[in-house]
Amino acid sequence: MQAAQLMLSHSETQPITWLESDVPVRSWCEAINSKDPLALDTEFMRRNTYYPELALVQLNVQGRTALLDPLATHPGPILQALALDPQRICIMHSPGEDLETLREVLPQGPAHLFDTQLAAAFSGLGYGLGYQALVARLTGINLPKDQTRSNWLQRPLSIAQKNYAAQDVQYLEPIFNMLHRSLTSKGYIDWLNEDCQHIKRRTQTSLDPQPQARFRSASNWSQEAIVLLRRLLQWRDKTARQINRPRPWLLPDELITELATQPPLGISELRQASRSVRFLRNEVLDSLHELLCSPIDDQERGETEPVPQPLDGKEKSALKAMQKKIAEIADRLDLPPALLGSRRFLETVLRQRCWPHEADSTWRRAQLEPSLLSLLPD
């Protein structure tokens, strides 16, 4: 089938190539002879599954826009040929969920990622700017938002959907050029590249080894209850992946709390406690029962970290002092304070009484560590 040509509705119209078979995919790729940047975006749906469902892949190279239909042709070959090219920069905006959606075909992410949302923060334009806001800020063009909640899995897509999707990549290269110049003049390109590498690593992570740390209400539970909480959270995540259903559909937080603090005495009691949970049936319920019945040994106790206690008075005062110090450093660097360190990060510094081993940002450490550690309470 020949690639269809559409026209955009904004003032500077550009053709859109619709790719739904291998022949036009190869033809489109062969026409790209340079190492110009790749602008990349996706549309996906996440309604009743654990994994996002890839519905559309948007590409733009050298001002040529293509929409690839992953329901008709596999996106792996074209994405691997373009995004894994070591000489090509891949431009994306806030790419976390997109990289998660593409993890099957790009498990390590693109060779060279440039996140325009992050670059905008380094350029002093604001923290967490959305794509439409950034386009308006840098180009003066107001993009429509009317298709944001479209059903992207429907076929055929409407002309309005295709135009909307295409615009998500058609301004990325001009924005990249402006932001790259700004970061080069400020000397922040290496800092951005480091953070982009961190984004790629974050989307590759699997099971959280200590998920119970997020349950702040469990800080005063018994050790056995916290061990069971960790077990249940890890089981929920693993099983939700296996059956491809959202985690809360499998085991709501309220039920996890009940099972960890008051474990059922048998399968009948467990069945009664979980009667309203549709996906806790048959083999899944048996697996959960086996998990709850398994005895807790010393090794598991040792591997389970306690849930952090709320900050005490001295720690709260130190937290405020740290936040003030970060604001001062951010002002000196002309960066948003949130880019340097979140409250959650500062709380980790306070609890560990050192620079966190999981904080692998060398530029932040160089800028913050001496000042923050000097503010730790006795």
Whole-number pLDDT of residue 13: 56
Nearest in space to 89 (alpha carbons), one of 110, 63, 66, 108:
110
Q: What is the pLDDT of residues 257-270, one digit of tens each?
A: 999 999 998 999 99
> What value does the mean pLDDT of the chain take?
92
Question: How far is 77 from 26, CA to CA, in rounded Å?
Answer: 9
Q: b vs e for 7-20, b when ≥16 Cβ sit within 10 Å of the residue's Cβ?
A: ebeeeeeeebbbbb
Q: What is the mean pLDDT of residues 123-149?
A: 91
**pLDDT of 203:** 83
pLDDT of residue 378: 85
pLDDT at 362 over 90: yes
More confident of the two residues 11 and 44: 44
Mean pLDDT value across residues 312-326: 97
Percent of the chain with pLDDT over 70: 96
* Per-residue confidence band for 30, with pLDDT thresholds at 50, 70 and 90: confident
pTM listed for this prediction: 0.91
Residue whose entry in the numeric block shows the structure tokens 């160089």: 366
Q: What pLDDT is stored for residue 147 in this prediction?
A: 78
pLDDT of 5 reads 37
Per-residue confidence band for 28, with pLDDT thresholds at 50, 70 and 90:
very high
Give the model's confidence band at 77: pLDDT under 50 very low, under 70 low, under 90 confident, else very high: very high
pLDDT at 76: 95
Q: For 153, how many CA atoms within 13 A lie in the half-sphere containing its CB?
A: 7
Is pLDDT at 3 greater than 50 in this prediction?
no
What does the pLDDT average to over 99-122? 96
Average pLDDT for 26-35: 84
CB 341 within 8 A of CB 326: yes
In angstroms, the Cα distances linking 338 to 45, 115, 248 are 29, 16, 30
Supply the pLDDT for residue 2.
32
* pLDDT tens digits, one per residue of 144-189: 887 778 899 999 999 999 999 999 999 999 999 999 999 999 999 9
Average pLDDT over residues 55-69: 96
Half-sphere CA count of 189, side-chain side, radius 13 A: 12
SS3 of the chain: the string is: CCCCEEECCCCCCCEEEEECCHHHHHHHHHCCCCCCCEEEEEEEECCCCCCCEEEEEEEEECCEEEEECCCCCCCHHHHHHHHCCCCCCEEECCCHHHHHHCCCCCCCCCCCEEEHHHHHHHCCCCCCCCHHHHHHHHHCCCCCCCCCCCCCCCCCCCHHHHHHHHHHHHCHHHHHHHHHHHHHHHCCHHHHHHHHHHHHHHCCCCCCCCHHHHCHHHCCCCHHHHHHHHHHHHHHHHHHHHHCCCHHHHCCHHHHHHHHHCCCCCHHHHHHHCCCCCCCCHHHHHHHHHHHHCCCCHHHHHHCCCCCCCCCHHHHHHHHHHHHHHHHHHHHHCCCHHHHCCHHHHHHHHHHCCCCCCCCCHHHHHHHHHHHHCCCCC
Q: Residue 8 pLDDT more than 80?
A: no
